[in-house]
Amino acid sequence: MAGPLDGYRVLELTTTVSGPMAAMVLADQGADVIKIEPPIVGDPGRYLGSSRNGMAALFAVLNRNKRSLELNLKEEADLAVFLRLVEGADIFLENYRPGVVEKLGIDFESLSKINPKLIYASISGYGQTGPYRNRKVFDPSIQATVGISHDQGGDRPKNVRTIIFDKVTALLTSQALTVALLQREKTGQGRYLPISMLDSALYYAWPDLMWSRTLIGEGVAHMGEIGDWFQIFKAKDGYVSIVLVRDEALEFLSIWRQSALHEDPRFKTFPDRQANAEALQEAVEELLADVSADEVCENLDAFGVPVARVNSLDEVADDIQVKYAETLIETTHPTIGEMRYPRPPIQFDKDAVFPRRHAPLLGDDTRDVLGEAGIAEEEIVRLEERVLAGRAVLGQISS
């Protein structure tokens, strides 16, 4: 058994991050995910960021455990092949801009006539309706709309330095699709799931980011913004995150460094420390100026103070906890060579081979997928020849 979703088939018609990551989660859990891409170029995510031999690392991570099929749904023959695949699918996932699937004739109403049990999910930036529905959306667009960019501090708004809401949307989508499969067991019917990045972002960010905007009316006791609660401090050879919310945390730090800092009236209580954050930063860093980051962590951890060394991106893989937990796996992709990335955080079978398959080249699985669907040999040959022609254009050679 490949995983708890073994036996379920997913047709993925998505690009870049949100859709591919949602399908990745399902694939990691055993679903048979067939990634359908347009001819020659395929998913633009294939070329986004660091790459080797024509495939981006981002794509290789997000599209593991999937099979690839190249189809041009604007062509009648290719559309007919796609509709045959719909007959045997459990899930269809797309992240086109609103209105595109209707133009292609692959909207939920059309596909549910072919397969009434189909679960159909549409990921969009701002939703299928509304004044922003037609906007082209990237993650920074959503960061800006939900206020995350404004809340990063400093003299002007700035983006979080990771693609955050595409990935949040992906995780919520994969969870919703799994629940929809469970619901289908009770109803026997498929359903339509419109999922927007905006809704997902607000659902994710609201509890803490917006706690000062949640209680409406008078009589609210405010405690500042969550972004101002925590500070990073410089030690002798690096930086450390020390949570000084509790009064005793600063007291423990002071005792360890033989200081009376905790008695300073500017820092006696948490509201005091919030009001004098810059002075606190300077004072704590004076205490840590001749102490290594590792020493800070070791000593404050002994007092039960939340503390962690700030790793650079290059240091993460060598962190002793990351190595102990074997969170990162190293594997060899047949096209792009040696690579590493995190295993799924939830493992249903610790003895299972992971990944089951590497991210495919465009159209790698044409014969297998179409053969299983009973597509005529001449159609399979036609599509295989187009795959090879496209690779010749891009200078790619199949492994």
Q: Which CATH architecture has domain 9-206+365-394?
A: 3-Layer(aba) Sandwich (3.40)
Q: What average pLDDT does the structure give for the chain? A: 96
Supply the pLDDT for residue 95: 98
For domain 226-309, the CATH architecture is: 2-Layer Sandwich (3.30)
Q: What is the pLDDT of residues 213-262, one digit of tens each?
A: 999 999 999 888 888 899 999 999 999 999 999 999 999 999 999 999 99
Domain ranges for the chain: 9-206+365-394, 226-309
Q: What is the 3-state secondary structure (H, E, C) of the chain?
A: CCCCCCCCEEEEECCCCHHHHHHHHHHHCCCEEEEEECCCCCCHHHHCCCEECCEEHHHHHHCCCEEEEECCCCCHHHHHHHHHHHHCCCEEEECCCCCHHHHHCCCHHHHHHHCCCCEEEEEECCCCCCCCCCCCCCHHHHHHHHCCCHHHCCCCCCCCCCCCHHHHHHHHHHHHHHHHHHHHHHHCCCEEEEEEHHHHHHHHHHHHHCHHHCCCCCCCCCCCCHHHCCEEEECCCCEEEECCCCHHHHHHHHHHCCCCHHHCCCCCCHHHHHHCHHHHHHHHHHHCCCCCHHHHHHHHHHCCCCEEECCCCCCHHHCHHHHHHCCEEEEEECCCEEEEEECCCCCCCCCCCCCCCCCCCCCCCHHHHHHHCCCCHHHHHHHHHHHHHHHHHHCCCCC
Q: At 279, is the pLDDT very low, low, confident or very high (cuts 50, 70, 90)?
A: very high
Per-residue model confidence (pLDDT) at position 394: 81
